[in-house]
Amino acid sequence: SNDKRDRVSAQPLSMRYVKGPLVIAHNGALSNFSKVREELEEGGAIFQTTTDAEMIAYTIARQRLNTGTIEQAVELAMDKLEGAYSLIIMTPGKLVGARDPQGFRPLALGKCGNSYMLASESCAFDSIGGEFIRDVEPGEIIVINKEGLKSVKAKCGRKSSLCIFEYVYFSRPDCIVDGVSVNIARQEAGKILAREHPVEADMVCGVPDSGLDAALGFSKQSGIPYGVGFIKNRYVGRTFIQPTQAMRENAVRIKLNALSATVKGKRVVLVDDSIVRGTTSARIVKLLREAGATEVHMRISSPPFMHPCFFGTDVASRDKLIACRLNSVEEIAKEIGVDSL
């Protein structure tokens, strides 16, 4: 973006304060953002961005003035922050990771040679030849310096509530999240789907990429052959964040192409991970029918998406969610043009 403000907001956020430089990266969203920001601004704080990360950094910096170490400052700051925050913080001598006590979002600890690493997804370690050690626990603070690694668990032990959408859609399938392989979790969801909602059909295909693992599970469980129904264009981004409806529909057209050679004349089970607005699903079903599929039976590996989320999932208001707008699964099926859902 050419907007300077956006560049300033890009993470990791780097800042200087009285104790020296501080760099912070954050995944999640604070539910008490407005309240904390108001309090800080009334105390004279000046913000360059509208990001949670800057406000979290400011909160930590203020706590640091009254306490000894950066990790103690993080621990005190955790009392003031509510919502989802997986954090990685760097000072000149330390790397600090913290995961909110409810563990909404993942945070992973890894190692490469003699160096420890922190990342929001374990697959990041694989890509640089490192290894995944374990998940950072909800409420845990990890401190890494030249002496090695230590863990602070004063904030651990509360009821945790990992965002289920990590398993459904967000995480890459080659990640481990809270001890569970995302790829296997998605396949299991597909198997359960095949047991609960069987259908007579000739082939199973998934919507790339997040529907593919569930489709494979559905195929294994049902015995219906798995086939490639779509080819995905690798050179476009995610569609659900396009601002207008027309742009989203165009993006879907550019992003996916149905393979008529494999679907023509067939009854197809179409597996996807979720239906949010319903527009992408309708478009994909239309692509299959245009390619010659005789029946389209849609199977979704997560429950109806009924409510917006305030912890870092970019979902618009309730009236945009098809499961809210319509009263039943049958109505949704009719709107997106499938034989069954």
Q: Which residues pair with 181 in a beta bridge?
A: 176
> Given this model, what pLDDT does residue 1 score?
39
- What is the separation of C-alpha 99 from the centre of its chain, rounded to a whole number of angstroms? 15
Number of separate helices (H) and strands (E) present in the chain: 13, 16
Q: Say which residues have a Cβ less than 8 Å from residue 268's Cβ, sequence separation at least 6.
A: 201, 202, 203, 204, 205, 229, 288, 293, 295, 296, 297
Pairwise CA distance, residues 83 & 59, whole Å: 15
- Asked if residues 186 and 217 have their Cβ atoms less than 8 Å apart, the reply is yes
Pairwise CA distance, residues 336 & 340, whole Å: 10
Task: Read off the pLDDT of each residue in 245-250 and give the average, rounded to a whole number.
Answer: 66
pTM for the full model? 0.86
The answer to which of 23-32, 227-236, 250-259, 297-306 has the lowest mean pLDDT is 250-259
Pairwise CA distance, residues 230 & 296, whole Å: 14
- What is the separation of C-alpha 86 from the centre of its chain, rounded to a whole number of angstroms? 12
Pairwise CA distance, residues 75 & 96, whole Å: 11
Pairwise CA distance, residues 337 & 341, whole Å: 10
* 252 has pLDDT over 70: no
114 token code pair: 């003699």
Name the strand (E) or helix (H) holding 33: helix 33-42
Which runs of E-coded beta strand occur in the chain?
A: 13-17, 20-30, 83-90, 95-99, 108-112, 115-119, 131-135, 141-145, 148-152, 176-177, 180-181, 203-206, 230-232, 256-258, 267-272, 295-300
Residue indicated by tokens 């008529």? 260
Across the chain, what does the average pLDDT equal?
A: 90
> Given this model, what pLDDT does residue 2 score?
45
Pairwise CA distance, residues 13 & 330, whole Å: 47
* 19 has pLDDT over 90: no
Task: Read off the pLDDT of each residue in 7-15 and give the average, rounded to a whole number.
Answer: 85
* Pure H helices in 179-266: 182-196, 212-222, 245-255, 260-263
* 224 has pLDDT over 50: yes
Instruction: Identify which of 92, 78, 146 has the alpha carbon closest to the alpha carbon of residue 116.
Output: 146
- Asked if residues 306 and 325 have their Cβ atoms less than 8 Å apart, the reply is no
Task: Read off the pLDDT of each residue in 131-147 and give the average, rounded to a whole number.
Answer: 97
| One-letter identity of residue 297 | H
The answer to which of 6-15, 65-74, 166-175 has the lowest mean pLDDT is 6-15
- Asked if residues 139 and 158 have their Cβ atoms less than 8 Å apart, the reply is yes
